[in-house]
């Protein structure tokens, strides 16, 4: 089982986490210059780990500098780097950072195009608002040659339709298992099997029955079992399909 999105360097013992619940692989997300360095180091050390490099929208105002871009450009060429981001837009915490977030997002769209790697996208709005989702839709429409992975998909209908039209991938995390996550669950039923990914976002968003505890990459299996039940299919078959999707979109190779 591949965890397609985790922050492995934020765990106390990454090596131990990789051995849990028969986890066969993990994509470690480098969402700042320091985390990108950490992700590449872990990917170079462990054969079952791959890395992404990028700038998280909530860090863009602080970290998006010419030096940071130059370093991420260099790291993006590393053979164990399989994606760019996580990038995107986030209006949940600070709605006055849109210019910085948009600039970083546009640059990462261009970087993903130039290195021919998928772009991992974070999208978050305050409850009852949709400015970040609408901004992501508009930006993606302006970059048709970039494959997006819509990480921790919220279930927002407009982004679901836009992503399906573009052929993007949708990542479902532990919050899919929460009782109130009805829109996310509806999307997890609807997304075509060949566009569905499973992730943890560890150490965040631990799934039921681990909710409230630090998340672990191996806990992706709880989300697997939940989504399989939602779709009325065998968990082993969903594991096979989602791992195949992960290898395809990230270019992992069937022998790794």
Three-state SS for 55?
coil
Matching residue, tokens 């051995």: 19
pLDDT tens digits, one per residue of 16-73: 999 887 899 999 999 999 999 999 999 999 999 999 999 999 999 999 999 999 999 9
Q: Report pLDDT for 22.
A: 82
- Give residue 118's pLDDT: 98
| pTM, two decimal places | 0.96
Question: In this prediction, what percent of the chain has a pLDDT beyond 90?
Answer: 94
Task: Please give the pLDDT value at position 254.
Answer: 43
Q: What tens digit of pLDDT does each residue of 145-200 get? A: 999 999 999 999 999 999 999 999 999 999 999 999 999 999 999 999 999 999 99
- The domain in which residue 174 lies consists of 2-250
Residue 199 sits in a domain of what CATH number? Answer: 3.20.20.140
Residue 20: the pLDDT is 85
Give a yes or no: residue 115 inside a domain. yes
Residue 256 lies in a domain: no
DSSP E strand boundaries for the chain: 2-6, 25-30, 49-53, 81-90, 119-124, 148-150, 169-172, 196-198
In-domain check, residue 47: yes
**For residue 255, is it within any domain?**
no
Overall domain count for the chain: 1
């Amino acid at each position: 089982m591949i965890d397609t999105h985790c922050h492995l360097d934020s765990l106390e013992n990454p090596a131990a986490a990789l051995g849990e619940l028969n986890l066969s692989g993990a994509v470690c997300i480098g969402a700042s210059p320091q985390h990108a360095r950490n992700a590449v180091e872990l990917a170079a050390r462990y054969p079952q780990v791959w890395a992404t490099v990028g700038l998280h929208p909530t860090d863009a105002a602080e970290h998006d500098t010419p030096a940071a871009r130059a370093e991420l450009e260099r790291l993006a060429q590393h053979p164990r780097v399989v994606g760019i981001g996580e990038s995107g837009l986030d209006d949940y915490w600070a709605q006055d950072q849109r210019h910085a977030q948009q600039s970083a997002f546009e640059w990462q769209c261009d970087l993903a195009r130039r290195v021919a790697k998928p772009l991992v996208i974070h999208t978050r709005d305050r409850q009852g608002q949709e400015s970040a989702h609408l901004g992501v839709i508009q930006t993606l429409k302006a970059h048709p040659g970039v494959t997006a992975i819509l990480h921790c998909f919220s279930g927002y209908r407009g982004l679901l339709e836009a992503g399906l039209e573009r052929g993007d991938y949708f990542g479902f995390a532990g919050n899919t298992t929460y009782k109130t996550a009805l829109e996310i669950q509806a999307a997890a039923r609807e997304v075509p099997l060949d566009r569905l990914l499973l992730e943890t976002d560890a150490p965040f968003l631990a799934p039921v029955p681990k909710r409230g505890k630090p998340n672990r990459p191996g806990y992706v299996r709880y989300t697997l079992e939940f989504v399989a039940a939602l779709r009325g299919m065998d968990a082993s078959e969903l594991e096979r399909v989602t791992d195949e999707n992960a290898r395809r979109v990230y270019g992992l190779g069937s022998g790794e």
